[in-house]
Amino acid sequence: MLVRPAVPADAEAIRALDLALVADGRGEVREAADVAEVPAIRERLARGGAFVAELDGRVVGNGSLHVFTPARCRHVASLAVGVHPDAQRRGIGRALMHRILEEARAAGVHRLELYVRADNDRALALYRSLGFEVESVRRDFIRLADGTLLDDLCMVLLTP
């Protein structure tokens, strides 16, 4: 497995990955209509801060780090990761997280935050194993197609 910075040429593979995650549904808040089109993904990738995981030459995971820009908040960043449903439980999410954590430290980030559905047990276990803690709960934040309401958690890691 290889984790590397994403480049604009990865846009189609990332869109396909995002659509596979949406179709799977576990842990997702997006629907297919919410997934960005390839040109928008290319534009985002050109700005940097995104990574992909490749397995046998295929993009099977992606992640991003967004460092806040206001002067008094430049020590804060948010992150997101996703791993193709067919490639989960192979350490890909952990590898992406480690790469993002390295990048965050190099950028001087002290507070790293992410958001995760409260029912996403596997992601919660990964994030907790890396030192993230639940800071707050956004109650009834997500409404599933069947009307079920779910909480969304804000998890935070403070780095030394």
For the chain, which domains are there? 2-158 (3.40.630.30)
Q: Which pLDDT belongs to residue 123?
A: 96
Q: Which pLDDT belongs to residue 160?
A: 79
How far is residue 126's CA from residue 103's CA, in Å, rounded to a whole number? 18
Return the amino acid letter for 31.
Answer: E
How far is residue 65's CA from residue 74's CA, in Å, rounded to a whole number? 13
Q: Could you give the residue ranges of the DSSP H alpha helices within the chain?
A: 11-24, 38-46, 92-106, 121-129
C-beta of residue 125 within 8 angstroms of C-beta of residue 134: no
Q: Which pLDDT belongs to residue 139?
A: 98
Q: Which pLDDT belongs to residue 110?
A: 97
The pLDDT tens digits along the chain (160 residues) read: 999 999 999 999 999 999 999 999 989 999 999 999 999 999 999 999 999 999 999 999 999 999 999 999 999 999 999 999 999 999 999 999 999 999 999 999 999 999 999 999 999 999 999 999 999 999 999 999 999 999 999 999 999 7
Q: Which pLDDT belongs to residue 129?
A: 98
Q: Is the pTM of this model over 0.75?
A: yes
Classify strands 133-143 and 149-158 as parallel, antiparallel or unpaired: antiparallel
Work out the burial of residue 71: count CB atoms within 10 Å of its CB; fewer than 13 is exposed, 13-18 middle, 19 or more buried: exposed
Q: Which residues pair with 138 in a beta bridge?
A: 152
Residue positions counted in the chain = 160
Return the amino acid letter for 55.
Answer: L
